[in-house]
Structure 1
């Protein structure tokens, strides 16, 4: 196998003349397929309840466990990606994902299906940080915006497309078909990747601090689990789990600060010393909360209030999701030309306006208006995510790329869980309060959804404020970023 493609980043940068390196295209495709599976089970819940004789709450665990595993495993990936080769990390990630997918197809019952989902998620947790880290090493700074636009397709659009695609697939067969369709596609991508992928950078030999691993799993996993429990009735227990998770994260942070003195932290928090990276993290987290909150609310509104089927609801939100993905490369090119602020600030305003429009949802709001508002939301998010990811990771030195990607991925999972918990809790509390006063159940639920969308508006205003703190470019940090040369 020829090794000149990626061993020296300067060579491929010149050879590709501003085009996306083949390795990044391959990793984007692989990441899209594995992240798609995070939300692909949502529409299969009724199917699963009948086939496996389980309750709705039990079936929800097939999505919750995936998210929990991601939150627990991603913090380890910063250390893992520095210790193994690019090919080794790719083989591990896709090997785990393929094993989990194959096991899911033949799982005889819920317990083994849940275990298969955990294995799937373990592979998925490695892919996104691997993609981001490789991109920062092989793509020159002046081209990162355009290439990061392709990455947006994988990490932002895939979760949004999962429910829509699963709704289509489930029309042709049982829940097993969801995995049967994915398996050959993932296997083909894995085979192509192992043929084409060369190693980027040199692995570093380092020991792992197992107490940090345990603390990360308990802290981030516990936090995400606690937040997911707010969707049920026992909010007291959920709050207790959240507090315990936060306490474990606090101990984890103290442990990492101590390990940084010896040079072997599991998650290197020195990335947070770079102001642009920290601002980007905050902005990304708040935007993800707004996005995931709307992803939960809109299907609930369309199906429970307006009476659409899961497939119809999925098809209505699909144009916005597709627009987000297709605009990614264009947004990236605009970022390379004009910088981040001219994209992020209008994007944040578009998010606010679209969510404000959804606060006016009613029993008779035209579907074309809902489609337009959702598309505006997705376009605003596309204009926001690509510059934020590029500016944030571009602000840290190359030695910290893996850790920067790891922290980014971990906070995405936490933000997704927090956004979901927030809107569901607000919606449920409002609806219950109105029903206690004698309001019709449907009208009470609709009012609860409007209030939850208003929470999204408040969050999006936070995105606008944070966007004003971002620089146009990461050029001022060039001495830190090193731009991979």
Structure 2
């Protein structure tokens, strides 16, 4: 079994390679493999880093004499690198051993973290964040591919739930951790605190992780690398730049990104005929996986939008500090993370629909309710309660859909499926943030022009943005009705 599995270009990806194999019972004894535990712990460390710099922007502006827009690049460049590198990981994971992939990812992340801690200029800090993003981009597909490879189908929900706990809790804790560190000293402390954790995880993992199967030698298509890197980076940058002023630049980058991504897709179809695609798009021929991808993209558009809207409201219009904001939104992230394993266990027993459909309904209700109650004097307990409800509903969606979608693929496509899912999540997250902020700003500007105060206009724009998030949740609900109850044929079953 392998995270580095060979792709047979003549194989039918919708065929069930394990037809007739006995299906394990969720009640059977099962211990999570050590390799999965180590990868989850390491992934927690690298994802924690993704949101830690949000609170540090005012310090960066003062230390490097930059404006607010320039300071945002410390987060944007991380997302751009993730979007550029993740498409390459499907090819990479099939051509190196598990231990090598882990070592490369953690070493890259540690180098970026050290460079960030010592950065003498803002340009160097941006390079450091890009290096960190490259290491993080490898860890996520590596973890997902390994889980799908070594965990029996009857227990995947539980293990994927534990994985989602790390993925959910880490971003929620990031602003709180950085807020505490910034109370103690410089923004460099953020890198200084993460570096020893990353080094420890890297050394322990390098020692204890076993290789899962054999690597497959093969050439890399450098044209594919260029098209994927430039296309997805251009698309994410263009989407994230909407609402910043003139439409010309973001529209130009978005159109260029779409054209390059389209060229990448066409070229992958050509390479598939030769058996050497960088990202195998046969995954999208499998209906359950394709529906799961669309559902996750809609969910991430709502998720990322809510993540950026609430802090804006709490800090700019309710006067909370970054630490107070982090503490206020932390219960939602913790609820989402702690529910992950429990949702996973329920999924192993009852399948997808009893979790995802109510979760999607709850998502719509939570966002509509939040839009209806939020104003300049909404009690904080109401905001916390609705945020916890929102994150809890997302937990009921994410774990089952991740597990079902990837489980619908044959094993030789696990790495490509997890890479494609990760890439599209980055694009959907950027698109969600861009669209919701653009709607907020447009509505707020209109209200100011009609005589509203700036604060009241912001709340009016926030209402419209949250209702747009609810519209994404309606798409999640519609897609959830198209999902099967479970992957019916075990590993590789296509779940029709």
Shorter-chain TM band: over 0.9
Give the deviation of 1:52 after TM superposition: 1.5
Which deviates the most, 158-167 or 349-358?
158-167
Distance 2:469 2:212 in 1: 40
Distance 1:459 1:184 in 2: 39
Equivalent position SS for 2:245 = coil
Distance 1:390 1:472 in 2: 12
Within the alignment, does 1:272 sit opposite 2:278 as a pair? no
Match of 2:135 in 1: 123
In the alignment of these two chains, the number of paired residues is 474
Match of 1:156 in 2: 168
Give the deviation of 1:313 after TM superposition: 1.1
Within the alignment, does 1:339 sit opposite 2:351 as a pair? yes
**Where do residues 9-408 of structure 1 align in structure 2 (5 Å cutoff)?**
17-360=29-372, 361-408=374-421
Unmatched segments (≥5 aa) in structure 1: none
Match of 1:436 in 2: 449
Distance 1:418 1:388 in 2: 21
Equivalent position SS for 2:274 = coil
Equivalent position SS for 1:359 = helix
Distance 1:222 1:154 in 2: 29
The alignment's TM-score, normalised by the length of structure 1, stands at 0.95
2:113–2:128: 8 Å Cα contact kept in structure 1? yes
1:128–1:155: 8 Å Cα contact kept in structure 2? no
Give the deviation of 1:195 after TM superposition: 1.3
1:149–1:328: 8 Å Cα contact kept in structure 2? yes
Within the alignment, does 1:422 sit opposite 2:435 as a pair? yes
Distance 2:426 2:492 in 1: 31
Distance 2:189 2:450 in 1: 45
Distance 1:286 1:187 in 2: 35
* Deviations 1:228-271 (CA, angstroms, capped at 9, x unpaired): 11141122221121011001111111000000011110000000
Equivalent position SS for 1:100 = helix
Match of 2:10 in 1: none
2:153–2:490: 8 Å Cα contact kept in structure 1? no
Equivalent position SS for 1:41 = helix
Equivalent position SS for 2:266 = helix
Distance 1:119 1:382 in 2: 30
Give the deviation of 1:477 after TM superposition: 6.5
Give the deviation of 1:481 after TM superposition: 6.6
Equivalent position SS for 1:101 = helix
- The structure-2 alpha-carbon separation of the partners of 1:256 and 1:79, relative to structure 1 and needing over 3 Å to count, comes to same
Higher helix content, 1 or 2: 1
Match of 2:472 in 1: 459
1:97–1:123: 8 Å Cα contact kept in structure 2? yes
Unmatched segments (≥5 aa) in structure 2: 6-20
2:157–2:345: 8 Å Cα contact kept in structure 1? yes
* Deviations 1:390-428 (CA, angstroms, capped at 9, x unpaired): 000000100000000100110111011011101110000
* Deviations 1:257-305 (CA, angstroms, capped at 9, x unpaired): 0000111100000001110000000111100110100001111111112
Give the deviation of 1:476 after TM superposition: 4.1
Give the deviation of 1:480 after TM superposition: 4.0
Match of 2:481 in 1: 468
* Structure 1 segments (4+ residues) deviating >3 Å: 476-482
2:487–2:493: 8 Å Cα contact kept in structure 1? no
Equivalent position SS for 1:171 = helix
* Deviations 1:138-186 (CA, angstroms, capped at 9, x unpaired): 0000000000001112333323332232122211111001000000111
Q: Which has the higher contact order (CA 8 A, sep 6+)?
A: 2
1:398–1:481: 8 Å Cα contact kept in structure 2? no
- The structure-2 alpha-carbon separation of the partners of 1:334 and 1:210, relative to structure 1 and needing over 3 Å to count, comes to same
Which deviates the most, 192-201 or 231-240?
231-240
